[in-house]
Chains A and B, each alone.
Chain A
Amino acid sequence: MTKHPILVFTLVLILGLAACTGGAAPTASDAAGDAAAEGGKQQVTISMWTHDQLYVDFFSDRAAVWEENYPDIEFIYDFQQVPDVFTKVLANLASGEPVPDLIGLEQGAFPRFMKDDIIASKFVSLTDLIGGEREDFVEGRWTPYMHNGNIYGVESALSATIYYYQPAIFEEYGLEVPTTWDEFLDVGEILAQDGVAMLPMTNSSSYVLMFFLQRGGQFFDEQGNFVFGEEPNRTIALEVLQLLRAGLDSGMFHVALGGDFWGPPLFNAYAEGKLAGAIMPDWYSEAVLKPQAADMEGQWRVAPMPVWSDGKGHTTSVWGGTGFAITSESENPELVWDLLHFSYMTKENQILRFEMIQYYPHMIEALNDPRISELTDPYYGDQAIGSVLASVAEDTPIWYQSQFRDAFQTEFTAQLPAFFEGTTTDEELIDAVVEVTNKEIADYQ
């Protein structure tokens, strides 16, 4: 051996490299690999990545039922909860590594794939597959996943916003729950005098812009053009920021920044009666409120969020969402689409999704089904939350994405603290956001 140092070295190097590569098998490398299994059945692997284990559980459950439609195929499912799905998918695409057949991506990450039309080349357009079924669903839940007129994702939840409130606080002051923003300001002023706020507020653009969407504003139009600075959007933005200013100055809005917005400080304020309610999406109930304020069972109710007195805008807004998209690399896109369609676009499974993982249906017929709309919840004093959501769901704002959404929202978030502190006016905020976003767009050209 010692007579051949190069041979020894080469052998060690090869063994070392083999050891290194052997442990790094990609999670979904075998995805969509078809092979003849024993017994003559065709073997098909379907893989999926998403950030939320609940989706993994739901798809696993549904796939076990769905596969009965294909008796000649033996399915292997590789469904995984993967943190930071967007980055991992991007890294795999860039490095030529395989990506899963199905990807569950938060709506906020979708515009990143719109950059340089990545979405068109790496994901399957679902527009024709969805076809006429599109109108069975809340339209505002398709548009966040649209690019150049094509739909690339199927939504996982309604995510419509409502007003969660504590009736005892309103009863104590002999006040009605406000139905318009004017009433909201009147009621809020009375409560604020006693140090009770109407709702929490944070300086995150995604939360503040929720109010902008309710008023009927648009950041980008259907073609992806930046229209936030144009009329009527500029005026709408001013009105919403003026509402925000009034709420902040009077103490009607309980400011909770950063992690406080989701954590104990906010729930202490609820429990201590310093905070009467919150305008939040449907998922807030199961994902945040009930787990963190379990001992407040029976003390909450919900109502539609206040509307603008002039009748313009919407009866609800929208925040969040996760779209499931099929990758172009999938070797079985028809089967993957069939699974997605079965699990997400049939009435019974929309209802089952709610029953299993508590995400409200965005299929109108499913939402109006008594199993959803008449289901009472003891946490809300046996109120039927679904009926409140069903009453506003079809009015969920339609809004559009763009590859410049990150630029727009980053600047909006950057400007908000100064607005909260009172060192920037509403007009200055809007001007700064428009200027920076337009600059980014121009720089891209």
Chain B
Amino acid sequence: MRAVHELPAENQPSASWRRQDRLAPYLFVSPFYILFVIFFLGPTIFAIVLSFFRWSALGTPTFRGARNYTKLFDDPVFWTSVQNTLVYSAASLFWVVPLALLLAVALDAKLLRGKSFWRGMYFSPIVTSAVAVSLVFVILYNKDYGLINAPLIGLGFEPINWLGSTFWVKFSLIGLITWRWTGLTMIYFLAGLQSIPVVLYEAASIDGATSFQQLRFITLPSLRPVIIFVSVIVLIGSWQIFEEPYILTQGGPGNASISIVQYLYSRGIQRLEFGYASTVGVTLFGVVFTLSLLQLYWFGVFRSEE
């Protein structure tokens, strides 16, 4: 028996049309995959391969086996850059993230007036030119004339050499990182806070919960997905830090503030050692990937829901 909805033979799609119909979805999603392969997967594979070669960007690469990797692990500047990056990463995770969370809670408070203004103010560093930021912070941190040292000098203390001391320069960088990234991180938390149902707080208030108890038992548990997200992106971002040490100190004094990506840049672009720079990049990728997995494991992301 002929199906009720079957079309007349002359209206049935041709074989060619059916083939096109099957291919169409793939073609429509293909731009992403084409771009992904060209701009991400391809370069990643190329970098991994290149990490076993010596190459100055022109001419034929020379195969070096694992020599780039043995050199890397014996390279004191690389390890200095790892230590510095660890400091920046720790400061970002354990100082910037909690500070951003506290700010977000404060800016989400019902009693606060001019919320939009304050949110705009805290977000503004992220849209400010890095060069302008650099100029301002160089002046702020100046040993003799900087605003930050002014109270110390006024009180008769020895001024701190914020940018010239191998010890203090890391604190200067952390100051800049805090100023630049706290606002953006806070926006993530604010978005999370605004998605928490108000009824939870109302019920808690009726039950007599204090503000701290509400924060401890409602806000933080509800924000858990946001905290995981923020922690992961902050961890990845902090290990890839480049702009701040590059614009403020150029990695100095000496190598006291150089980051891993900055070292990669100097080896690749400034010294035309693209093979060795790829080795640094591949190692960094491995470290960030491993740390991100550990972090997700620590947050219990891989645990199956009971």
Contacts and interface: CB of A to CB of B under 8 A. Distances in A.
Nearest to B135: A259
Contact of B166 (A115, A258, A407, A421): A421
B270 A406 contact: yes
Given A94-B58, A258-B249, A87 B269 contact: yes
A407 B271 contact: yes
B70 to A, nearest CB: 10
Given A203-B253, A258-B249, A443-B71, A9 B28 contact: yes
Interface stretch (A57-65, A142-150, A233-241, A412-420): A412-420
A417 B253 contact: yes
Interface of B: 17, 20-21, 23-24, 27-28, 31, 54, 56-59, 67, 71, 77, 138-139, 142-145, 161, 163-166, 249-250, 252-256, 266, 269-272
B301 to A, nearest CB: 38
Given A9-B27, A413-B252, A414-B254, A112 B272 contact: yes
B266 to A, nearest CB: 7
25 contacts: A4-B20, A5-B27, A6-B23, A6-B24, A6-B27, A9-B27, A112-B272, A115-B56, A121-B58, A203-B164, A203-B252, A255-B164, A257-B252, A257-B253, A258-B138, A258-B163, A258-B249, A410-B271, A414-B255, A416-B254, A417-B252, A417-B253, A417-B256, A420-B253, A421-B166
Interface in A4-23: 4-6, 9, 13
Contact of A257 (B28, B139, B164): B164
Contacts of B254: 203, 413-418
Central interface residue in B23, B164, B270, by most chain A CB within 10 Å: B164
B10 to A, nearest CB: 15
Contacts of B71: 443
Given A259-B138, A417-B252, A112 B163 contact: no
A99 B166 CA distance: 41
Interface string A402-445: 00001100100111111011000000000000000000000110
A116 interface: yes
Interface stretch (A207-215, A262-270, A329-337, A344-352): A262-270
A253 B158 CA distance: 19
B58 A417 contact: no
A414 B77 contact: yes
A122 interface: yes
B28 A265 contact: no
Contacts of A260: 138, 142-143
Contacts of A255: 164
B152 to A, nearest CB: 16
B58 A406 contact: no
Interface residues of A, number: 39
A93 B164 contact: no
A293 to B, nearest CB: 16
A90 interface: yes
Contacts, number: 94
Contacts of A312: none
A118 interface: yes
Contacts of A3: 17
A203 B254 CA distance: 8
A258 B163 CA distance: 8
Q: Which 6 residue pairs spanning A and B have beta carbons closest together?
A: A417-B253, A257-B164, A417-B254, A414-B254, A5-B24, A94-B57
Contacts of A13: 31
A270 to B, nearest CB: 13
B138 A263 contact: yes
Given A406-B270, A410-B266, 7 more contacts: A115-B272, A203-B164, A255-B164, A257-B252, A260-B143, A265-B143, A415-B254
Nearest to A10: B27
A102 B59 CA distance: 22
Nearest to A95: B57
B58 A122 contact: yes
Nearest to A405: B271
Contacts of B270: 112, 406
Contacts of A443: 67, 71
Central interface residue in B20, B24, B272, by most chain A CB within 10 Å: B272
B272 A417 contact: no
B271 A406 contact: yes
B145 A93 contact: no
Contacts of A257: 161, 163-164, 252-253
B272 A90 contact: yes
Contacts of B77: 414
B145 A264 contact: yes
Nearest to A9: B27
B272 A93 contact: no
Interface in A190-213: 203
Contacts of B255: 414
A331 B140 CA distance: 51
A116 B56 contact: yes
Contact of B252 (A5, A87, A258): A258
Contacts of A444: 54
A93 B266 CA distance: 19
A65 to B, nearest CB: 36
Contacts of B139: 264
B164 A258 contact: yes
Contacts of A265: 142-145
A440 to B, nearest CB: 9
B80 to A, nearest CB: 9
Central interface residue in B77, B143, B254, B271, by most chain A CB within 10 Å: B254
Nearest to A274: B144
B96 to A, nearest CB: 24
A399 to B, nearest CB: 20
Contacts of A421: 165-166
Nearest to A203: B253
A118 B271 CA distance: 13
Contacts of A263: 138
Contacts of B145: 264-265, 268
Nearest to B21: A5
